[in-house]
Structure 1
Amino acid sequence: MSKMKKRFKAINKLLDDMTTAKEKLIVNMYKKCFNDMYALLHKQYKQYQTDGILTFETMIKQNRLKKFETKMIQLLTMLNKNVGSTIYEHLRNVRLQSYYRSSWIIETMSKVKLGYHTVSTDVLEKSIEHNFTGLTLNQRLEKQRKEIILRLRETVTRGLHEGQSIQTMSRAVQKDMGVSAGKANRIVRTESHRLIESAKQESVEHANKSGVIMVKEWNSSEDERVRQKHKANHRILNGKKVFATEKFKQGSVEGDGPGMMGVASHDVNCRCYLSYEIERIEAKTHEELANLTYEEWIKKGYLYYDR
């Protein structure tokens, strides 16, 4: 494996670890919300149950069920807000880290001063909101909030009609919360991957325009989980190389690389990544760039800060 490929692989490892940490944080947020919801549910059973059973007829008296649902929705709305801000912060971070670290790799290994600039807030926000679903991130999170509210309403109402014990109902609520947490983490994983790969590609395209001509290679994780479907076969794409400005093609679908094919069958939960190599250099080189660490590259001002 070449030095450049190792460095790009290291970027993916660093940012993948950051994503895994955020997924765990989001799971813990859902656990806390469930604990708060269980306490709310337990209070209803303690006050209104008969022989351990809480019925629908009992809960509709004096708007008890409506009041419970209002408090439940408040908990879910706060959860959605906290999860949303956590996801946004993480996506901004991985997008920037991927772009800056890719720029460092290319500039120090090509030894060409490429004039990389910091990413503007406008560009950053647009890159986060652009995805294959046609919905903004806020819209996707709001859609998920409405789905879990509807699901939990149905779960609680059904449990009351069936005269379920608090243990049975809480297990059903916990299951619903787990499904919702899984969906939130699917957004985190898929969108992090897309932003990491697209930021690398953007950095390479800038270098290409400035005289550092590069090729890119599709790399799969090379395990049994690599998707192998008729419409999205990443085993076939593994190891395929094209020039950095070209598209990867499979059937009627084409895109810049993993996470950037523009269709769910290719992009959701994809774990593939791009690595790059320099094909040729058509610009003046500067030896002082050769051995700079990422921290030195930043400190010496090779990344230009826009005001």
Structure 2
Amino acid sequence: MSKMKKRFKTINKLLDGMTTAKEKVIVGLYKKCFNEMYALLHKQYKQYQTDGILTFETMIKQNRLKKFETKMIQLLTMLNKDVGATIYDHLRAVRLQGYYRSSWIIETISKVKLGYSTVPTDVLEKSIEHNFTGLTLNQRLEKQRKEIIIRLRETVTKGLHEGQSIQTMSRAVQKDMGVSAGKANRIVRTESHRLIESATHESVEHANKSGVIMVKEWNSLEDQRVRQKHKADHRILNGKKLFVNEKFKQGLGKGNGPGMMGTAAHDINCRCFLTYEIEHIEAKTHEELANLTYEEWMKTRLSMQ
């Protein structure tokens, strides 16, 4: 395996680790919200239950159920705000890390001064809000907030009609929260992957235009989870090499690489990644670039805009 391919695989592992860590943070936010919701639910049972049973008839008196739902919605709205901020901070971080680390790899291995610069804020935000599913990230998060509110309302109302104990109802609420947390982490995983791959590809495109001609290779993880449907078969794409300005095509998808194929069948929860090789160099080389560490490169080679 070439030095460049090893480094790109190392980047993929580093950024994947960042995403895994952030998924744990999001699960923690959901657990915190559930604990607060359980305390709220416990208070209702303590005040209004009869023999451990809290009924719908009891809760609709004096607007108790409406007041409970209002407080529940407040908790979920705050959760959505915290989760959204966490996701945005993470996506900004992986987008920048993907671009800068790829740029460092290309310059130090090609030994060509390629004039990379910092990513403008508007470009960064636009890439995060890309709406390949038809919804922006903000819209997807808001859709999820509304879905969990409706689901929990149904769960609580059903539990009250059935006269469920607090243990039974809290388990149902916890299950609903777990499903919502899984959906939030699917957004994190999918969007992180898309931004990492697109940022890396953008860095390579810049090099390609500046005289470092490169090829890209599609890599799957070669396990049982690799998607293998007619609409999106990543076994077929595995190992396929193209010049950087060419598009991968398979099933209903067409794009620059994993996470960028333009269809949910290809892109959601995709784990494939690109690696790159230099085909040839059409620019002057500078030997002093070869030994720059990432930190040194960031300080001396990255142009601040």
TM-score under structure 1 length normalisation: 0.98
User: C-alpha distance in 1, partners of 2:262/2:250?
Assistant: 12
- Once the two structures are overlaid, the 10-residue window that deviates more, 249-258 or 238-247, is 249-258
Shift of 1:133: 1.1
1:188, distance to aligned residue in structure 2 (A): 0.1
CA distance in 2 between counterparts of 1:230 and 1:207 reads: 34
Structure 1's unaligned 5+ residue stretches are none
State the SS of the aligned residue for 1:60.
helix
Tell me the secondary structure at the aligned position of residue 261 of structure 2. Answer: coil
Shift of 1:219: 0.3
Distance (whole Å) between structure 1 residues aligned to residue 253 and residue 56 of structure 2: 52
Q: Is 1:137 equivalent to 2:137 in the alignment?
A: yes
Alignment check: 8 A CA contact 1:56 1:161 kept: yes
Give the aligned partner of residue 97 of structure 1: 97
Residue 190 of structure 2 contacts residue 270 of structure 2 at CA under 8 Å; is this kept in 1?
yes
Deviations 1:95-153 (A, max 9, x none): 00000000000011111000000000000000000031121111110110000000000
Partner of 1:305: 304
Mapped pair 1:270 → 2:290: no
The alpha carbon displacement at 1:80 in A equals: 0.2
- Whichever residue aligns with residue 253 of structure 1, its letter is G
**Who is 2:61 aligned against?**
61
Structure-2 change in CA distance of 1:252 and 1:139 (3 Å): closer
Q: Which runs of 4+ in 1 moved over 4 A?
A: none
**Does the 8 Å contact 1:114/1:207 carry over to 2?**
yes
Distance 2:285 2:24 in 1: 44
Query: Counterpart of 2:217?
Result: 217
Give the structure 2 partner of residue 46 of structure 1: 46
Residue 50 of structure 2 aligns to a residue in which SS?
coil
Deviation at 1:236, TM superposition (A): 1.1
CA 1:252–1:151: 2 relative to 1, 3 Å: closer
Identity of aligned residues (%): 87
> How far apart in 2 are the matches of 1:240 and 1:50?
67
Quote the Cα distance in structure 1 between the aligned partners of 2:162 and 2:251. Answer: 51
Q: Distance in 2 between matches of 1:275 and 1:303?
A: 22
- The alpha carbon displacement at 1:253 in A equals 2.1
Tell me the equivalent position of 2:115: 115
Aligned to 1:290: 290
Partner of 1:239: 239
TM-score relative to the length of structure 2: 0.99
Instruction: Tell me: CA distance 1:74–1:252, structure 2 relative to 1, closer, same or farther (3 Å).
Output: closer
Structure 2 CA distance for aligned equivalents of residues 33 and 298 of structure 1: 39
> What number of residue pairs does the alignment pair up?
305
Shift of 1:240: 0.3
Q: d(CA) in 2 for partners of 1:142 and 1:253? A: 27
Instruction: Give the whole-Å Cα distance in 1 for the aligned partners of 2:137 and 2:299.
Output: 34
Measure how far apart 1:252 and its partner are. Answer: 4.0
Separation of aligned partners in 2, 1:83 and 1:222: 32
Structure 2 distance, partners of 1:131, 1:274, is 22
Give, in angstroms, the shift of residue 215 of structure 1: 0.1
